Amino acid sequence: MHLDDHQLAEYEEQGYLFFPGLLDRDEVAALQQAVPEILDRQGPEVIREKGDSTAARLAFGAHVYSEPFRRLSLLPRLVEPVRQLLEDDVYLHQSRMNPKQGFGSGASWEWHQDYSAWHVVDGMAEPRCVMATVFVDDCTAAKSPLLVIPGSHRDGFLDSVQLHQDADGYSLYHVDRDTFERLAEENGIEALVGPAGSVCLCHSIVVHGSANNVSPWRRAIMYLIYNAVSNACTNGDRPWFQNNRDFAPLETIDDGALRELST
Ligand SMILES: O=C(O)CCC(=O)C(=O)O
């Protein structure tokens, strides 16, 4: 998939591009079938919700241990436009699934820029990194969609407050209240809604967050974090599933390879 000049200008302006239904039904089915096994995994790569230890909050690294997600991460449909946006070869710095379980278990996310932790903790020099946000489930207004502030990347990397650092090394920084209010007043807030298989390519300093999912339905999103090879991280303190140290440029696979897995 090649981005045209209009799309490149839109990314520059609003900090993200949204592609409804970029993956077809068979591809979505292959991903959805793999989700329960990923969330049941017992290991440090799966972090549980504070208010419900039975519910996974984040599953890191599924592109390594789940074949459908490995294939997803290497599809030309994702990797080629990301290379184009970053004007470089790319490697996968991190992947994480946020299943956002229903009945309130899927808790909120404070307003933040993802780049904060990668810069401060992992030593990523520049925000030359794209979050490919893949909707594994339908994301509707009722399921606490991902909320973004369009154009907030144009304010650059913001001073952030560290919200917490878990014993397992997971860090979250949040944007201070005054800055958040100003950005929201200036740019508004958009909800990313669309059917399963939709994809958003998002700049790593776009401010985003989400509310508790009080619907009865899961709302899983897979975040694939592609970094420019020339921007590889310099610190190696965090484990492989948070800070991948293999900087070899990704080689794409056949664009139909994920679809082949659907049964
Ligand atoms: O999927 C969500 O609700 C938000 C997740 C998020 O902001 C993140 O993982 O950085």
| Mean pLDDT, residues 192-217 taken together | 97
Residues with CB under 6 A from ligand 1: 98, 100, 109, 114, 146, 208, 210, 221, 223
Residue 194 gets which letter from DSSP? Answer: B
Which pLDDT score is estimated for 18? Answer: 98
Which pLDDT score is estimated for 164? Answer: 55
Which H or E run includes 13?
helix 5-14
Domains of the chain and CATH, by start: 16-246 (2.60.120.620)
Distance 254 CA to ligand 1 centre (A): 29
Which H or E run includes 204?
none
Nearest-CA neighbor of 129 among 55, 212, 228, 232?
A: 228
Distance 209 CA to ligand 1 centre (A): 6
Can you name the residues that pair with 240 across neighbouring β-strands? Answer: none
Confidence of residue 104 (pLDDT cuts 50, 70, 90): confident
- Please check whether residue 239 is in contact with residue 6, taking contact to mean a CB–CB distance below 8 angstroms: no
Q: Which amino acid is at 247?
A: F
Distance 149 CA to ligand 1 centre (A): 13
Site to substitute for ligand 1 among 210, 214, 225, 241, most atoms within 8 A of C-beta:
210
Can you read off the two tokens belonging to residue 128? 């030359």
Which pLDDT score is estimated for 217? Answer: 97
pLDDT higher than 70, residue 165: no
Nearest-CA neighbor of 13 among 187, 190, 225?
A: 187
Confidence of residue 1 (pLDDT cuts 50, 70, 90): confident
Distance 241 CA to ligand 1 centre (A): 16
